[in-house]
A and B are shown apart, each in its own frame.
Chain A
Amino acid sequence: MLVFIIRRVLQSALALLVMSALIFVGVFAIGNPIDILINPQADQAEIARATAALGLDQPLWVQYWEFLRNAFTGDLGRSFSHNIPAVQLIFERMPATVELALCAMVIAILLGIPLGLVAGLKPDAWYSKTIMAGSILGFSLPTFWVGLMLIMIFSVFLGWLPSTGRGHTTLLLGVPVSFLNWDGLVHLMMPALNLALFKLSLLIRLTRAGTREAMLQDYVKFARAKGLPLRRIVGVHVLKNILIPIVTVIGLEFGSLIAFAIVTETIFAWPGMGKLLIDSINVLDRPVIVAYVLIIVCMFVIINLIVDLLYSLLDPRVRLAGARA
């Protein structure tokens, strides 16, 4: 087990190094940030001085080495437009994104698993077919368009929910969160639902497929023969067995929720990391773009590692396969 963890951590570190080099070369080597940073009326000497001050006259590998050394101390450069360290800027915005993603995940789980169970137990009933049709729609609808339609219905026509911002926030353990007061909750509802829609459809399909398969197994027949009520068969025996793939998917999809939050945050002007990324791309704020990508790659590496570990804890067969590989 320890060997497995060490190997995975080393692999992750290598992946991170490769990604950082790619991003560095991609963002820093293409185009010259001096053109954006300096006054266009500056003369040659001034440009040379500024270039030297930023270390841009050094060969690329020296610049990359400097960048790596600073990165290890947690310094990924200062934002051009906000003039504060990029890392600090992103960490300020992170709680909003994480809160949004967590809420979306909770909505997806609370609705998706029960609906999937219902559709899996009675696959031919009209309500099951409706659920499945809904999930196909949820897969096909582009997230951003659903967001617009939500705004159109609930903000413009009905006027029930606000369409932009985070509303009033409450401090929870020093972190500002929206869900603890009514104003924040009202602001949170639409973006969270919008972000949840795709994962909701995914969970419905997964749960339904798992349930249909599990209901044909011998242990379900045995439990039935024993005279157990359906509630117990489904709630204990079936659910336990279908949860392994579902837990994995929930874990893995959390990362993609944070990525897709970019779209939702842009639509609802939710002040999270994703909106920060789009704003930074629009004003070519390179340190922020690089810092965002590196931080999100780190998050993905960590999430993947946790999911792998959880998986091997939940399912002994995986542990054996992992140890042999």
Chain B
Amino acid sequence: MNGALVESPFARVAADFAQSRLALVGLATLILVLIVAIGAPYISPQNPYDLAQLDIMDSKLAPGTQAGDGMMFWLGSDDQGRDMLSAIFYGLRISLGIGTLATVCALAIGLVVGLTAAWFGGWVEAVIMRIVDLQLSFPSILIALVLLAVLGQGVDKIVIALVTVQWAYYARTVRGAALVERHKEYVEAATCLALSTPRILFRHLLPNVMPPLIVIATVQVAHAIALEATLSFLGLGMPITSPSLGLLIANGFTHLMSGKYWISLYPGIALLITIVSINLVGDELRDVLNPRLQK
């Protein structure tokens, strides 16, 4: 532990993280996926939503086919003559965007609710934790499905559904961590200084409950992406105008029986790479940020 004392916490986490080669591979892949998602409009061979660029004559081309106008379809094309590679780049952008947005919103709600429960205790805590327990006893997909059946389709609605499904995990984790922290001396000292409750909660308690939250948030982004893809596949998620990876896969399902596998296969592989890389990073973060595993 000597030497580590002079390091900043971030440097220590980074150094520990770099110990695992698998996690580094995951991180590198994730960064690549992010670059592709953010830069989709600049690196895609074609804008898959611009109808002027699509040619129905190019529909359902096999991977590696060159079209009449010299355009190369590396991953084939779908039934509307859309280049699959471009569609996947744009789909990644939508899937990652929705997953991240939902996770950030759920994290914010869970944080406030969890801190409130831990700090005030009594009936406030009892009511909040009952709701959390009740919700966590049902599978997320069921809650999301029923919500979407009631709310209908749309980007805002799927974000609402994903947030509703996720907030309880954060609330429970934050409460657990905050219950441990609130009896420590620095909180006592802050209380003695007569600091306001919000200030103690958000300036003093919050930074100390963050590590477990970061881990859960990482893994939850992967969950959110997978859940969104599943819901879109079932026809209850993203609208047809903004096709996420799930919708691309669903679209390919109709052509699967005729052996046109590429319309479903490649978006699925893109989805898989994204989820696995996030999970690898999350797994390693969990080990690195877990104080019990510190030597």
Contacts and interface: CB of A to CB of B under 8 A. Distances in A.
Contact of A293 (B146, B264, B276): B146
A311 interface: no
B249 interface: yes
Given A259-B138, A263-B141, A282-B235, 10 more contacts: A26-B146, A30-B151, A140-B222, A144-B233, A156-B261, A255-B139, A263-B230, A289-B149, A296-B142, A297-B138
Contacts of A259: 138-139, 141-142
A281 B149 contact: yes
Interface residues of A, number: 41
A30 B134 contact: no
Interface string A155-175: 111000001000000000000
B125 to A, nearest CB: 15
B70 to A, nearest CB: 30
Contacts of A306: none
B5 to A, nearest CB: 32
B253 A148 contact: yes
B1 interface: no
A67 interface: no
B137 to A, nearest CB: 6
Q: Secondary structure at chain A's binding surface: helix, strand, loop or mixed?
A: helix
Contact of A304 (B137, B149, B275, B279): B137
Contacts of B141: 259-260, 262-263
A-B pairs, top 9 by smallest CB distance, nearest first, are A259-B139, A256-B139, A145-B268, A259-B142, A26-B150, A281-B149, A140-B275, A140-B276, A144-B233
Interface string B130-158: 00001001110110011001110000000
B234 interface: yes
A22 to B, nearest CB: 9
A153 to B, nearest CB: 9
B117 interface: no
Q: Which of B146, B256, B257, B259 has the most CB of A within 10 A?
A: B146
B163 interface: no
A148 B264 contact: yes
A139 B272 CA distance: 10
Nearest to B226: A142
B96 interface: no
Interface of A: 15, 18, 23, 26-27, 30, 136-137, 139-145, 148-149, 151-152, 155-157, 163, 255-256, 259-260, 262-263, 266-267, 277-278, 281-282, 289, 293, 296-297, 300, 304
A10 B264 CA distance: 48
Contacts of A23: 146
A144 B246 CA distance: 9
Contacts of B271: 142, 145
B230 A142 contact: yes
Interface residues of B, number: 35
Nearest to B250: A144
A139 B268 contact: no
B265 A149 contact: yes
Contact of A136 (B151, B229, B276): B276
A144 B149 contact: no
A261 to B, nearest CB: 10
B236 interface: yes
Which of A30, A139, A155 has the largest number of chain B CB atoms within 10 A?
A: A139
A15 B134 contact: yes
A163 B256 CA distance: 11
Contact of B265 (A144, A152, A289): A152
A82 B137 CA distance: 31
Given A300-B137, A304-B137, A263 B150 contact: no
B180 to A, nearest CB: 20
B268 A143 contact: no
Interface string B247-283: 0010011001101010011001001100110010000
Nearest to B142: A259
Contacts of B256: 148, 151-152, 156
Nearest to B227: A142
